[in-house]
Amino acid sequence: MQMTWRWYGEGNDDITLDHIRQIPGVMGAVWSLHDKVAGEVWEMERIQEVADQLKAKGLSPAVVESVNVHDDIKIGLDTRDGYIDTYIDTIRKLAKVGVKVICYNFMPIFDWTRTDLYKEAGDGSNALFYQKNLVDGATPQSVVDRILEGAGEKTMPGWEPERLAHLENLFTAYKDVDEDKLTENLKYFLERIIPVCEEEDVKMAIHPDDPPWPIFGLPRIIRSREHIAKFLKLVDSPYNGLTLCTGSLGPNLDNDLPGMIREFGDRIHFAHIRNVRVMENGDFIESSHRACDGSVDVVEVVKAYHDVGFKGYVRPDHGRHLWGEEKTCRPGYGLYDRALGVMYILGIWDTLEKKY
């Protein structure tokens, strides 16, 4: 496996490339142009600039997370073709600087959803938290308000205030989009982009729905073994693959994560490895990576990757906020717990390899 670290870009992340290159085993920074909204053109100069910054510090730019998909594509409007052309243009440009994997998602309106960005965990640390009844009984607007208020000045991918300002219109636009329609629209998108990916040698890696159940009546189609098996058949090419995120699929305890890794291993291009502690009432909090601290057996997860001979990219995904860093870090993306997570994952991996 090739260990990476998500970086939000120069001037947009307290964690610098100099921090990142000192974390053992990290070979690449997972990046994006975070100021771009879905559907916007990515200029070659901007892409080249980030790739050069990473290469100057000895870090690979091979993974981009995310190139976001415009709502018109997900809804299936006539305007989608223009947005798909722009997406293809971005794929071709990214290929030129050595990008090999693009992570994206196909969730309507909301990306990952939590009710609390800094929930006290009892030991002075805090972490992202999901309180089920707060979402089940709430209006979408109240959840948006909670998240944007918690984020303060920080930009949060998937929670762009400009886009969410039109929440009601977005819900109206999605009103006839059910699971089948969303799946059809995803197929249409993939049928156009995957041939380009094959030509350019760039693998697409869809991110599962987080949390793995429908929220506010919106369909979610990448949230179980069955959904993933169906997705991979929509376009049966190795270039149509997965970001397997244990923290996103993990809150549904029926999801057998090591089983999915063994079954879909050759289509997993990017692994997000983290832990969540699921409570009896269905709430969950993001916990340390250590298997006994949460509901995801991270040891078994890493073992499954080892068993399938996983050569793809991995990142520790989120971490708790430790030692007071919540005052400065982006929610879920502090330095310390993610770095501890890297070492935990690599510790398991190296033990399995016995190359120490």
Q: Which of residues 156-195 bind ligand DNO (CB under 6 A)?
A: 157-158
| Whether 42 contacts 33, CB under 8 Å | yes
Please give the Cα distance from 19 to 12 (Å, whole number).
14
Residue with tokens 């993610």: 338
- For residue 14, what are its two tokens? 């307290």
- For residue 180, what are its two tokens? 């089948």
Of the candidates 317, 321, 329, 344, the residue annotated as catalytic is 317
Q: Is 317 a catalytic residue?
A: yes
Of 60, 66, 183, 246, which one interacts with ligand DNO (CB under 6 A)? 66
Q: Is 272 a catalytic residue?
A: yes
Asked if the bond preceding 66 is cis, omega within 30° of 0, the reply is yes
The piece of 73-81, 98-106, 168-176, 195-203 that touches ligand DNO (CB under 6 A) is 98-106
Please give the Cα distance from 319 to 127 (Å, whole number).
7
Provide the 3-class DSSP secondary structure of residue 173: helix
The piece of 105-113, 144-152, 161-169, 254-262 that touches ligand DNO (CB under 6 A) is 105-113
Interaction of residue 207 with ligand DNO, rule CB under 6 A = yes
Of 5, 7, 31, 104, which one interacts with ligand DNO (CB under 6 A)? 104
Please give the Cα distance from 19 to 226 (Å, whole number).
40
- For residue 332, what are its two tokens? 């879920």
Please give the Cα distance from 277 to 232 (Å, whole number).
29
- 215 strand-pairing partners: 218
Comparing CB distances to ligand DNO, the nearer of 280 and 320 is: 320
The piece of 35-43, 49-57, 97-105, 293-301 that touches ligand DNO (CB under 6 A) is 97-105
In the bound complex, what is the minimum distance in angstroms from residue 68's beta carbon to ligand DNO? 6
End-to-end CA distance of the chain: 16
Q: Which of residues 139-158 bind ligand DNO (CB under 6 A)?
A: 157-158
Interaction of residue 105 with ligand DNO, rule CB under 6 A = yes
- 72 to each of 78, 84, 175, 267, how far by Cα in Å? 8, 10, 13, 27
Interaction of residue 111 with ligand DNO, rule CB under 6 A = yes
Q: Is 197 a catalytic residue?
A: no
Interaction of residue 342 with ligand DNO, rule CB under 6 A = no
Interaction of residue 204 with ligand DNO, rule CB under 6 A = no
Interaction of residue 349 with ligand DNO, rule CB under 6 A = no
- For residue 72, what are its two tokens? 């018109």
Interaction of residue 20 with ligand DNO, rule CB under 6 A = no
Q: Is 245 a catalytic residue?
A: yes
Please, what is the Cα angle at 124 between 120 and 126, to 5 degrees? 40
Interaction of residue 130 with ligand DNO, rule CB under 6 A = no
Of 13, 65, 71, 283, which one interacts with ligand DNO (CB under 6 A)? 65
- H or E segment and range at residue 193: helix 179-200
Interaction of residue 337 with ligand DNO, rule CB under 6 A = no
List residues near ligand DNO by CB under 6 A: 65-66, 103-105, 111-112, 157-158, 207, 318, 332
Positions annotated as catalytic residues are: 207, 245, 272, 317-318, 333
